[in-house]
Structure 1
Amino acid sequence: MQVTVKEMVELLEEMAPKALAENWDNVGLLWGRNDKHVHRILLALDMTAETVAQAIEYHADMLITHHPVIFRKLQQVTDAAWQQELLLRLAEHGIAAYSAHTNLDCVSGGVNDSLVKRLHIEDDDVLDTSNGLGRIGKVAPCTLADFATFVKKALKADYVVVGDAGRKVENVAVCGGAGSDLIQLALAQGADTLVTGDVKYHSAQEAVFSGLNIIDAGHQPTELPVLDDLADRLSLHFADRHWDINLKVAKESMLLKHI
């Protein structure tokens, strides 16, 4: 059965509605033609030279990313800027680009639920009920050092950074990507530990001195798990609809590494 980009977009927006995205975000079909037929899709966290090269080599018709391939207003599209040059490569190879960002963060089965699953968090619930971001639940009681080691291994992170508030780990809040804005909410919900990424020094101070352990496992490692889960969910939908589409998850190098 022939499937168009437009039909793929409709499926993706059933799974992660655009209405769930933050008002500052840019999600949806951001590059390409609605009427193009889709036979191969590459899933990636980011549009980078690495993932675009894989999409081209794979002969993908569509690149689906978590982070928007276009975020700020474009005044021109030339090869002078790296992101615009990548958009030109996609255009030259007829590859459409779709991005699901904060809507995939908060939706059920999205980024944060994938993080909960990888970290073996049980009895989880939404952390911020105003927008669906973050999750909170329970783990088997352990020391912060042991839990941080487990997080590093479970997320295949090159390193983690830990702020120790002197508390045993049992009630854990998570937010994939950058979730230090949720520190006070995590405390109010009874968390003893927050796992997220992109934690700044003063945010770490706020957490630790307020009595919250914090583990910065990196932006990429806390979000990458959703790609395999999304691939599995999409494959099931393709089978149910009798769509003949091949799907592949990109291999993405860690931007920040421990040396």
Structure 2
Amino acid sequence: MNTVTIGELAELLDEMIPLQLAESWDNVGLMLGRRNKPVKRILLALDMTQEVVEQAIAKKADMLLTHHPAIFRKLSNVTDADWQQELLLQLAEHGIAVYSAHTNLDCVANGVNAVLSKRLRLQDDDVLDASNGLGRIGFLAEPQSLQSFAQQVKRVLNADYVTVGDAGKKVQRVAICGGAGSDLLELALAQGADTLVTGDVKYHEAQRAVFSGLNIIDAGHQPTELPVLDDLADRLSLRFSEVSWNIVVNVAQETLLLKAVS
């Protein structure tokens, strides 16, 4: 098996999840690390949080690959006064590189939205927003009530809860966007969707959807994006095998930030 460096792994990730697919405001790619350091184990996670960093250290990972950018805004300093910078310091002190794939992972083939579409068993699905590749739209095999479909979404995504805006439509043509995608509701309507599944839906966005005739299901930011990690782990393991790279791929266990209170 070949010895692989962080730089070589970053180049492979750049190829699999092209940086040019990212939105102009986004920050993606290698965020932290020495490019000549060997890599034998990586950990995939949605976010760089304390629980994820602790797992990366415990598993002796050489790279943490996150969906949400570990560094988003320009840094004027890096100290332990800020919780995110403190995590970067911990990772640097343990020699763990950080790579982030955000909006480019949202829209790449087999990315966040493609995996979400597959999980919800949408048929004949296609890109919802052709201008940037975001979202998907497709059909259910059979029409369902909104209540029934919402329960299915909750179960399939292991969501603690979902919230629903009922426009009085049966569910069959479904638009989806992992994370925060309520700004796509007009496109969903224009393409004949009766239902939009996404996360982070605000009150007035839900109001606009429902009164425009579009059911909306808020399944949460995390639950709609987490499924991509297992899929990406499988694809990375296969690719590493094809190029004879001996790199172990693990997926972090991440606690849902927002939970239902009984």
TM-score if structure 1 supplies the norm length? Answer: 0.99
* Aligned-pair CA distance for 1:6: 1.0
AA aligned to 1:118 is R
Counterpart CA distance in 2 for 1:146 and 1:21 is 35
User: What amino acid is aligned across from residue 257 of structure 1 in structure 2?
Assistant: K
User: Of the candidates 178, 181, 199, which is equivalent to residue 179 of structure 1?
Assistant: 181
The match for 1:13 is: 14
Aligned to 2:119: 118
Query: CA offsets per residue over residues 231-256 of structure 1, 9 Å max, x none?
Result: 00000001101110111000000000
Please say which of residues 217-226 and 28-37 is displaced more in the overlay: 28-37
Match of 2:138 in 1: 137
Amino acid at match of 2:47: D
CA offset digits 1:150-170 (Å, max 9, x no partner): 000000000000000000000
Question: What is the Cα deviation at residue 11 of structure 1?
Answer: 1.1
Shift of 1:93: 0.1
Deviations 1:185-229 (A, max 9, x none): 000011000000000000000100000000000000000000000
In structure 2, how many angstroms separate the alpha carbons of the residues matched to 1:68 and 1:36? 21
Q: Deviations over 1:60-91 (max 9, x none)?
A: 00000000000011111000110000000000
> Quick check: 1:35 aligned with 2:4?
no
The amino acid of 1:149's aligned partner reads Q
The 2-side partners of 1:126 and 1:75 are apart by: 38
Aligned counterparts of 2:124 and 2:256: Cα–Cα separation in 1: 31
Taking the TM superposition and a 5 Å limit, the aligned residue runs for 1:142-153 are 142-153=144-155
2-side partners of 1:241 and 1:23: how far apart? Answer: 32
Report the Cα distance in structure 2 between the residues aligned to 1:102 and 1:185, rounded to whole angstroms.
18
Q: Residues 107-134 of structure 1: CA distance to partner in whole angstroms, max 9, x if unpaired?
A: 1100001101110111000000000000
In structure 2, give the amino acid aligned to 1:229: D
Q: How does 1:10-89 map to 2 (within 5 A)?
A: 10-89=11-90
Alignment of 1:92-131 (within 5 A): 92-131=93-132
1:222 aligns with 2:215: no
* Structure 2 unaligned residues grouped into runs of 5+: none
Structure 2 CA distance, aligned partners of 1:33 and 1:122? 44
Distance 1:172 1:33 in 2: 44
- DSSP-derived class of the 1:253 partner: coil
Partner of 2:202: 200
Which 5+ residue runs of structure 1 have no aligned equivalent? Answer: none
Mapped to 2, the partners of 1:231 and 1:247 lie a distance apart of 6
Aligned-residue CA RMSD (Å): 0.4
Q: How far off is 1:137 after superposition?
A: 0.1
Q: Measure, in 2, the Cα distance between the counterparts of 1:135 and 1:10.
A: 28
Query: Structure 2 length normalisation: TM-score?
Result: 0.98
SS for the counterpart of 1:176 is: strand
Instruction: Give, as a single letter, the amino acid of the residue that structure 2 aligns with 1:232.
Output: D
What is the one-letter code of the residue matched to 1:70? Answer: I
Identity of aligned residues (%): 71
Deviates more, 1:249-258 or 1:6-15: 6-15
AA aligned to 2:74 is K
Question: Offset at 1:147?
Answer: 0.1
Question: What is the CA-CA distance between 1:7 and the residue it aligns to?
Answer: 1.0
